[in-house]
Amino acid sequence: MTETHRTKMLILGSGPAGLSAAIYGARAGLEPIVVQGLQPGGQLTITTDVENYPGYRDVVQGPWLMEEMQAQADKVGTRTMFDTIVDVDISQRPFRMTGDGGTVYEGDTLVIATGAQAKWLGVEGEQELGGKGVSACATCDGFFYRGKKVVVIGGGNTAVEEALYMTNHSDDVTLIHRRDSLRSEKILQDRLFANPKITVLWNKTVEKFVGGGDPVGLVGVDLVDTQTGDKSHLATDGAFVAIGHAPATEIFKDHLDLIDGGYIEVEPGTPKTKIPGLFACGDVMDHVYRQAVTAAGTGCMAALDAERFLAEEEFELLAAE
């Protein structure tokens, strides 16, 4: 027999956005249900040192931080479900989601907080050196490379912005791009080419991230020239892969308006979608900032808007009687 769970606020995703929404929703008496999804805890669970989350003077570990958020959400009354959603129906309320085991979840409101994943090169050494010199977020990890030599890989807006950002910490930044021209906006290119701390390597791809030392960390990248096939090695202390992000919205592509490569479209400055009672927060709708603290902030906003939506609906029903 199919099991059905019903709630005033259903949340899909358990990173900083989803759990912040749950904490605020639970405190408002909405008895939220969080369906964790494929990556419980979100991207912070695969992040080691976190130094920029407010409230901690010392570096904390990403998995520990998410365990604390989960514990806080549970303590105030959140129900957490370990399930993966395979089907959604947001054509009517209550919104309805179905897990891979057949369990059904229904919510008077729905908060989508499924996040986004950085795109990776998929080359040798990338996974092994993740967090040991290889990163996909200069804003998150750039501080650890003060005064060191770094490379940024990519040619779009993200890559150029990350290279420019890294000049706040390093006087030796190299942008590696597989073509002979950038895809980024011209104003960003102008800033990049005018910055004396940045060198551009054209027509190069990374063949391998090279580790060494004790403890093992990144010591360089092996490169291949895309035109000649010539191979070379570039010594570096840090490498930032900046080839874009993929928001986790595949299951919603036929149900919601998606923009800019798959991000959920929301009303500017809010987590509200075009569907009343349905909200999106965190990296699944934010293609600009993509930080844990901003994700948590939009999760709070989603919960507050969900509570207001339900309160207004209840008031209208009472007024109509």
pLDDT tens for residues 136-174? 988 888 999 999 999 999 999 889 999 999 999 999 999
pLDDT score, position 1: 61
pLDDT tens for residues 20-49? 999 999 999 999 999 998 777 888 876 667
Q: How far is CA 173 from the centre of its chain?
A: 24
pLDDT score, position 117: 85
pLDDT score, position 48: 66
Catalytic residue selected from 137, 281, 286, 300: 137
Contact 182, 155 (CB under 8 A): yes
Average pLDDT (92-105) is 96
Contact 305, 272 (CB under 8 A): yes
Catalytic residue selected from 141, 237, 286, 305: 141
Mark whether 281 is an active-site residue.
no
Q: Is 290 a residue whose pLDDT tops 90? A: no
Catalytic residue selected from 108, 140, 237, 305: 140
pLDDT tens for residues 297-311? 999 999 999 999 999
pLDDT tens for residues 108-117? 999 999 999 8
Q: Model confidence at 98, in pLDDT bands (50, 70, 90)?
A: very high
pTM above 0.75, yes or no: yes
pLDDT score, position 280: 98
pLDDT score, position 19: 97
Q: Which residues pair with 98 in a beta bridge?
A: 87, 104
The C-alpha R_g of the chain, in whole angstroms, comes to 22
283 vs 140 pLDDT, higher one: 283
Q: Is 18 a residue whose pLDDT tops 80? A: yes
Please say whether the dihedral angle defined by the alpha carbons of residues 71, 72, 76 and 80, taken in this order, is positive or negative. negative
Query: What does the mean pLDDT of the chain come to?
Result: 94
Choice among 147-151, 204-208, 234-238, 256-260 with the minimum mean pLDDT: 256-260
Q: 278-280 and 104-112: which strand pairing?
A: parallel
Show contacts of 155-158: CB within 8 Å, 24+ apart.
Answer: 155/179, 155/181, 155/182, 155/183, 155/184, 156/182, 156/183, 156/184, 156/242, 156/243, 156/244, 157/183, 157/184, 157/185, 157/188, 158/242, 158/243, 158/244, 158/245
Q: Is 7 a residue whose pLDDT tops 90? A: yes
Closest by Cα among 45, 17, 38, 42 to 84: 38
**DSSP result, 233-272:** EEE-SEEEE-S-EEES-GGGTTTS-EETTTEEP--TTSSB
Count Cβ neighbours within 10 Å for each residue of 187-199 and write b for 16 or more, e otherwise.
Answer: ebbebbeeeeebe
Backbone angles phi, psi at 192, to 5 degrees: -65, -50
pLDDT tens for residues 186-198? 999 999 999 999 9
42, amino acid identity: G
What is the number of alpha carbons within 13 Å of residue 248 lying toward its C-beta? Answer: 23
Beta strands in 3-148 (DSSP E): 4-12, 33-35, 49-50, 60-61, 79-81, 85-89, 95-99, 104-112, 116-118, 134-135
pLDDT score, position 192: 97
CB neighbours of residue 291 within 10 Å: 18
What is the C-alpha to C-alpha distance for residues 144 and 237, in angstroms, rounded to an integer? 10
pLDDT tens for residues 99-109? 999 999 999 99
